[in-house]
Amino acid sequence: MLKRWIGGLVGVGCVSVALGQQTGRPELSTPKLGALSFVRAMELNDSPTFHAVTIGGADEYKLFEPLMKMVASAKDLEKAAREKWGKAGRVVVRNSPAVGMEVQIQESDVTVEGDTAVVKRKGDEDPDPLTLRKTNVGWKVDLTAIKNRKTMTDAAPSMQRMEKVFIDSAADIRAGKFRTAEEAEKIILKRMQDAATAKAKPEAPVKSK
């Protein structure tokens, strides 16, 4: 599931139970609600809540930082489009990776064995499901169980480029730079494709004194 999200986020060039704003204590009473709180914390780039709904150490939280920032910026792009064009704004975000993450969780299959739960995409083999552990406050996503660490590390530069596309595009929508939702969709999709296929610029060599 997580690998699929990352692939969708950085590979755009290849083209709910509504929780509302995450306020107060996140809902962790079931594995599925714990997973939804995990997604919502990423959408809001809410680091304190993200820590509260997950199990991990400094390395895991550093690993997830680029993904959190990108998901949050994609969600803000969705918000800007809907504020500007209402229902018509949906066309702008239909290629956005933030769209559908909560639905995937809601429609997922959950297997519980003791204090461990596995959340998988419904109807197919999921090579990288979410693992949750039952704690004294509820079900939390176990970041230490994530297997695709190299994939996430390698994808970090692409995620950072995509984050910038979402931030800039949301600002352009709010500044009235697009005449219609359809025009915005076309231009933003091109930006996303360019970001997905761009190569990271090599660092400039350090000049010796």
pLDDT tens over the chain, length 209 residues: 665 555 555 554 433 333 334 456 789 999 999 999 999 999 999 999 999 999 999 999 999 999 999 999 998 999 999 999 998 998 888 766 566 788 888 888 999 999 999 998 877 676 678 999 999 999 999 999 988 889 889 999 999 999 999 999 999 999 999 999 999 999 999 999 999 888 655 555 555 55
Question: Residue 53 — φ and ψ, nearest 5°?
Answer: -105, 10
Beta-carbon contacts of residue 197 (< 8 Å; ≥ 6 apart): 13
Let me know if residue 155 belongs to a domain.
Answer: yes
Are 190 and 165 in contact by the 8 Å Cβ rule? The answer is no
pLDDT score, position 194: 92
Q: Which two tokens stand for residue 105?
A: 């969780």
Let me know if residue 88 belongs to a domain.
Answer: yes
Cα separation of 113 and 120, whole Å? 14
pLDDT score, position 9: 54
Q: What is the number of domains present in the chain?
A: 1
Let me know if residue 9 belongs to a domain.
Answer: yes
pLDDT score, position 204: 52
Cα separation of 121 and 104, whole Å? 7
Can you list the alpha helix ranges (DSSP code H) found in 126-180? 149-174
Let me know if residue 206 belongs to a domain.
Answer: no
Let me know if residue 163 belongs to a domain.
Answer: yes
Cα separation of 141 and 34, whole Å? 7
**Domain of residue 49, residue span:** 2-14+24-197
Let me know if residue 54 belongs to a domain.
Answer: yes
Helix, strand, or coil (residue 78): helix
Give me the amino acid identity at 40: R
Let me know if residue 188 belongs to a domain.
Answer: yes
Q: In 3D, which of 110, 170, 162, 160 has the Cα closest to residue 134?
A: 110
Let me know if residue 19 belongs to a domain.
Answer: no
